[in-house]
Amino acid sequence: MTNRFSFTLLAQDGHARRGEITTPRGTIRTPAFMPVGTAGTVKAMYPGQVRDLGSDIILGNVYHLMLRPGAERVAKLGGLHEFALWPWPILTDSGGFQVMSLSSLRKLDEDGVTFRSHIDGSTHRLTPERSVEIQHLLDSDIQMQLDECIRLPADRREIERAMELSLRWAERSAKAFGDQPGKAMFGIVQGGDQPDLRIRSAERLAAMDLKGYAVGGLAVGEPQAVMLETLAETLPSLPAGKPRYLMGVGTPDDIVQSVARGIDMFDCVMPTRAGRHGLAFTRHGRINLRNARHAEDSSPLDETSDCPASRDYSRAYLHHLVRADEALGGMLLTWNNLAYYQSLMAGIRSAIEAGSYADFVAETKAGWERGEAARKAA
């Protein structure tokens, strides 16, 4: 096992990249999907299950963990890996995104942001330095700079102000992070839907020679085409030898399209959240188990899957569990969804290695589009 953090490009197919991040806690095969373990748990999953699906890394949220159970407490208990029984790599976000989306009465200044907890209304302060300190207390392997993530559409002047602030915070974050062997601090490209601002942000971050780069502030409501165009315009300004992480994205289609433009890492609550709300992702597309047409369907979600949740339980049973609001419904659909996401990532990686990524995308999309019709015709 290495004691260094490094990234190796193993293969390329067009702009799509097959790589490997090595860390002392394990190797991350890219393109990678990182299940979201918000408060130290990938909701409704045992950690061993998440791992067995092929997850090399999970994500933890600074915002949630700093409020409960608290970063100092997690540190006292041996860090997030030991606390959450996940000895493999963990990426933590900086807390900035949730401060904007979840907390109330937030007040942003040059130095940082003050906000009220959505849990108990208590007041908290997050600065670039405090975010790095929290991520260090959690013992996170890949740490993110604090940034200001604004909603789109927004005024260009406002986008530029937030992007410039995020750049200054990137410098402070990198300085606070210092030299942590085996770990990484990633910068975050901002700039909204303004190509020149995105490029300026990427170039200035690239000049800081960070260990990896994220693209933030996308998939916040804009059309997919805008997101993909922004990626196409931005990514050439990031160094090819560093991993590229598209934050909070996305649907299976978002992922295959973003990989085609050169993204290496993803995280999204979609497979877990949708699973708790009765929605299954499969190679035949999305299936809403709440729908009455599944009530007497004895077929499983995917009889060819290795995942028991996808293969062994009938749609009729899943429909019943979802309708009856039974915990097992969310457990099984979350499991199915993460299994599908991770099998999609495995397929993506193989296709890039084989130089057949375009074919893979076409076949995968055809499967989604044939959908249930294909299953019924079979």
Enumerate binding residues for a second copy (CB under 8 A).
39-41, 43-46, 48, 64, 68-69, 73, 76-78, 83-85, 276, 295-296, 298, 308, 312-314, 316-317, 319-321, 323-324, 326-328, 330-331
Of the residues 56, 139, 267, 302, which is catalytic? 267
Q: How far is CA 150 from the centre of its chain?
A: 18
Could you identify the residue written with the tokens 């995280």? 267
Widest distance between CA atoms in the chain? 61
Please, which residue, 323 or 375, has the CB nearer to a second copy?
323
Given the residues 93, 193, 254, 264, select the one marked as catalytic: 93
Query: Which residue(s) pair with 214 in the sheet?
Result: 188, 245
Find out whether 190 is annotated in a ligand binding site: yes
Q: Which is nearer to a second copy, 48 or 241 (CB)?
A: 48
342 is in an annotated binding site: no
Q: How far is the CB of 342 from a second copy (least distance, A)?
A: 19
Specify whether 267 is catalytic.
yes
Count of beta carbons in the 10 Å neighbourhood of residue 181: 8
CB closer to a second copy out of 320 and 370: 320
How many C-beta atoms surround the C-beta of residue 48 within 10 A? 10
The answer to whether the annotation marks 217 as part of a ligand binding site is yes
Please choose, from the candidates 336, 319, 221, 348, the residue with its C-alpha nearest in 3D space to the C-alpha of residue 272.
336
Q: How far is the CB of 74 from a second copy (least distance, A)?
A: 9
Please state the closest distance from residue 80 (CB atom) to a second copy, in A.
10
d(CA 211, CA 70): 27
Strand order in the sheet with 142-144: 32-35, 265-268, 244-246, 212-215, 184-189, 142-144, 90-92, 58-60
Nearer to a second copy, 226 or 269 (CB): 269
Distance of CA 15 to the CA centre of its chain: 20
Q: How far is the CB of 78 from a second copy (least distance, A)?
A: 7
Active site residue 196: no
* Catalytic residue annotation: 93, 267
